[in-house]
Structure 1
Amino acid sequence: MTAIFDKIHELADQVEKGSTTELDDRARACRATKEMIKDTKSLLESVRVQLSEGWHGGTGEAALTSLEAFKKNRDEQAEDLEESAKSFEVIRDALAKAQQEARNKRADADGLQTKLDSGWHGFGLRKVDLAVAWAKDKLVKAEALVLLADLERVTTTYDAVLLIEGQKLRNKTGRVWELAGSEKRSKAEIAAIMLRELPGLAALVAKNPELRNALLHGDWDKIMQNPEVAQKIYDYLGFKYVKDGGFYTTGEHSMQSYLGWRDLYDKLGRIGGMRLDDTGADGDNMEFTDPKTGKTYRLELWKGGYGFGQAFGGEVGLYTSDSPNNNGHFDAAKGDDQIKVTQQIYNKRTDEVYFTNDGQGADGTDKRHFWNLAIRTDPNVHPNELGQRATIEVQDVGMRDRMYNEMTRYAAAHPHDYLTVTKGSDHPPVLSYDWRK
């Protein structure tokens, strides 16, 4: 029994090591740096305006364009710093809550241990006395096990928050700096954190008769309207409901962001009730390489039925690999590699637009993501009726042109996909497509 109390104290010690003051300081530092960047941006704009009055010709205009790009980057830095400050505040609040609960559980455990130590004192050798003492002993031990389980839940919940916000912070490298909210996790650790939360999610549904009934009838819209359940599903599985559009999408920190992409996933999709049109089904994938960095990009498109015919929708995903020799594994696009996608699912026969996802699910306000997903529950829409349109905004013209060239190559090689691709503006670099397979 001593081992249980030792474990409670050990877990409480781990939680109490964290510093809410340090996290608060980091949030304030992010915001202070953001204000400095805004001041720098104002100064740059003033200089640009003054120079524009006297600079003419190719060299002068090129310099002004560089200043404009530099100013735009300051906007992105300021946005990243604000989102980083929010992440540190979320971690701070989660830590403060965990520490308070840990202190309470430690105090309760100390009280139980005292009760257990004194439980056998004062009793004689009569059977009735021994029976009473034994019963009290078992009761105290049971309460201690409940305390340990509660404390494990506290630490797991905080660990999950740390994981999610840390991932958001790490993805901002290049425009801010690498301020990870938690140490880099292996995929096995990440999966373990996700799976440990599933019993808690199931308990939330089980204790609510309306949610339990909705689960039995497969009414996910009803389940996702419960704020507590919806938040847990978003925190640990990445899915959330977009009420205005009437569809589900995914966050950048979803479990899929850790797993990346393999062609095997498409094959597993049928087991999960997916009946999708997908590019690359015959092994010919839309891939292109940046000649300067050697990084390879994979663009994936999907549309069709989900949930064994109970839902429909589409997806646009971008994945990267530092080398073409990747054994078929691609990472989810991060940082400047992410794309801003506006995806539209429509009826090919009537041209009725079912919904449009203009970047919902992306962190922050830039709407850049590795994966634009939109799914609506409706068993009355047949997958064969669906078309997908999208615009894709990328970081630079060179990447846009490589993506355009690869998509047009793929379209020519697969005429029955009925994929048409069009270049858009260079500022920002955009292309669009219509897929009517």
Structure 2
Amino acid sequence: MSVFDDIYALADQVEKGSTTELDDRARACRATKEMVQDTKALLESVRVQLSEGWHGGAGEAALKSLDAFKKNRDDQAQDLEESAKSFETIRDALAKAQQDARSKRADAQALQKKSDDGWHGFGIRPVDLAATWARDKVLKAEALVLLADLARVTTTYDAILLIEGQKLRFKTGQVWELAGSEKRNLAEIGAIMLREVPGLAALVAKNPELRDALLHGDWDKLMQNPEIAQKIYDYLGFRYNAEGDFYTTGEHSVQSYLGWRDFYDKLGRLGGMELDETGTDGDNMEFTDPETGKTYRLELWKGKYSNQAFGGEVGFYTSDSPNNNGHFNAAQGDDQIKVTQTIYNKESGEVYFTNDGQGADGTDKKHFWNLAIRTDPDVNPDQLGQRATVEVRDVGLRDRMYAEMVRYAAAHPGDHLTVTKGSDHPPTLSYDWRK
């Protein structure tokens, strides 16, 4: 197969995609959203009428169920709107990729014609043969450049498809039926990420300031470059929050695929992290829902991240069974929690920063992982304290989490962890960790 055949095959692959189908899915999401909102309005009307006549325990329970159902419609409408936006992002990316593919195909056809015309009817003199061969080599080299450019076009589209597809697959309700194919496996994700490395390396190499920033570990400088910042967010989920002067992470990062295993903490230590961690002795904050059998794990971290940064994390993970061989999934859907985390100086009381749920998709600020890291080499990790307020979906989950945190605090007095219950509407608890 010639280089021209490779170009045409790759262009064919891109052009098979249907922007019309993606547009239809976006419109279907919004149409369903309108139906959901109409249902919510009807529920509200019914609830108002029933509340005037329903009294006592049974009536109040029924009204409470209607309230919960109405809230579920709000959540579903938000999911549908965000999913419509994801389909539109994929549609626009595909349209651009197809336009670029058509352009590269036309360029390749022009080059191939030049090559064919050059060989057609050449004389028998060696000088004619040599000149035609040399010209053909130049044209083939230009075709290889076209092939590389087209490969970058497909990689860019594939990356957007990966990120937006991940967002879609984590949605609940009717959005699952619109999400399409199965989740990518980790090997595919790794391959896509590795394909991006040469482009990022070239970007850094041709910019002396970026090259110097990389050599000195100056991530603030690197993240000021929009292209680098976007790639870091797309694949690792990290994004700079200018208002709070800290880095946080999105829900669709690679970490969301990996879930949690205890040996990840060991990898962190190998990477130069000096962190206080819950569960270092094998006793973790875990509890099980007696009705569903689902097991939950709460993880806390705070301290030094390499020689240049400090901060903290609150992670929440789930498993369908206690027998999970040590692996937990990143919390999704209703299992996600809303966390407001503050990192402060235990000695002076100075507050360094607060992450009130930045990084979460949508507006509910619910996430599986509240992370906040600031670059500053001069902060002593031994002086760091972490306090947080955690909001969960219902009182039962809150009470089980509270009981487990109290148990853990009593079993680990050196952690200096204090826990208090908050309100029931919404269900919250707060803690202060001064290890």
* Matched residue, 2:394: 396
What pairs with 1:368-387 in structure 2 (closer than 5 Å)?
368-387=366-385
Shift of 1:135: 2.2
- Further displaced range: 375-384 or 190-199: 190-199
Shift of 1:65: 1.2
One-letter code of the match for 1:279? T
One-letter code of the match for 1:85? A
Q: Distance in 1 between matches of 2:125 and 2:217?
A: 58
Shift of 1:345: 0.5
Q: Distance in 1 between matches of 2:259 and 2:249?
A: 14
Equivalent of 2:311 in 306, 310, 313 = 313
- Further displaced range: 369-378 or 110-119: 110-119
Tell whether 2:365 aligns with 1:367.
yes
CA distance 1:182–1:119, change in 2 (3 Å): farther
Q: Distance in 2 between matches of 1:407 and 1:69?
A: 27
One-letter code of the match for 1:13? D
Q: Distance in 1 between matches of 2:387 and 2:177?
A: 36
Q: For residues 252-284 of structure 1, give each alpha carbon's deviation from its aligned partner in whole angstroms, at most 9, with x where no partner exists.
A: 111111111111111011222211111111111
* Matched residue, 1:114: 113
Shift of 1:126: 4.6
Tell whether 2:156 aligns with 1:171.
no
One-letter code of the match for 1:154? V
* Matched residue, 2:227: 228
Q: How many residue pairs were aligned?
A: 435
Tell whether 2:412 aligns with 1:414.
yes
Q: For residues 188-211 of structure 1, give each alpha carbon's deviation from its aligned partner in whole angstroms, at most 9, with x where no partner exists.
A: 111111221122222222233332
One-letter code of the match for 1:334? Q
One-letter code of the match for 2:172? T
Shift of 1:123: 4.2
What pairs with 1:420-431 in structure 2 (closer than 5 Å)?
420-431=418-429
Tell whether 2:39 aligns with 1:45.
no
Tell whether 2:319 aligns with 1:335.
no
Q: Distance in 2 between matches of 1:182 and 1:251?
A: 22
Contact 2:25 2:178 survives alignment (8 Å): no
Equivalent of 2:324 in 316, 323, 326 = 326
Contact 2:168 2:175 survives alignment (8 Å): no
Contact 1:80 1:175 survives alignment (8 Å): no
- Percent identity, aligned pairs only, is 83
* Matched residue, 2:152: 153
Q: Distance in 2 between matches of 1:248 and 1:357?
A: 9
Q: For residues 279-309 of structure 1, give each alpha carbon's deviation from its aligned partner in whole angstroms, at most 9, with x where no partner exists.
A: 11111111111112211111111100012x2
Contact 2:317 2:331 survives alignment (8 Å): yes
One-letter code of the match for 1:417? D
Q: Distance in 2 between matches of 1:410 and 1:233?
A: 36
* Matched residue, 1:98: 97
- TM-score w.r.t. the length of structure 1 is 0.96
One-letter code of the match for 1:7? D
Contact 1:27 1:86 survives alignment (8 Å): yes
Shift of 1:310: 0.6
RMSD value, Cα: 1.6
* Matched residue, 1:137: 136
Q: Distance in 2 between matches of 1:177 and 1:192?
A: 26
- TM-score w.r.t. the length of structure 2 is 0.96
* Matched residue, 1:211: 210
Q: For residues 306-357 of structure 1, give each alpha carbon's deviation from its aligned partner in whole angstroms, at most 9, with x where no partner exists.
A: 12x2100101111111222222111111111111111111100111111111
User: What's the secondary structure of 1:270's corresponding residue?
Assistant: helix
* Matched residue, 1:70: 69
Contact 2:76 2:173 survives alignment (8 Å): no
Unaligned residue ranges in structure 2 (runs of 5+) = none
One-letter code of the match for 2:395? V
What pairs with 1:28-43 in structure 2 (closer than 5 Å)?
28-43=27-42
* Matched residue, 1:351: 349
* Matched residue, 2:10: 11
Q: For residues 158-182 of structure 1, give each alpha carbon's deviation from its aligned partner in whole angstroms, at most 9, with x where no partner exists.
A: 1111111111111112464332254
Unaligned residue ranges in structure 1 (runs of 5+) = none
User: What's the secondary structure of 1:389's corresponding residue?
Assistant: strand
One-letter code of the match for 1:150? D
Q: Distance in 1 between matches of 2:195 and 2:180?
A: 20
Q: Distance in 2 between matches of 1:275 and 1:84?
A: 39
* Matched residue, 1:271: 270
Contact 1:174 1:335 survives alignment (8 Å): no
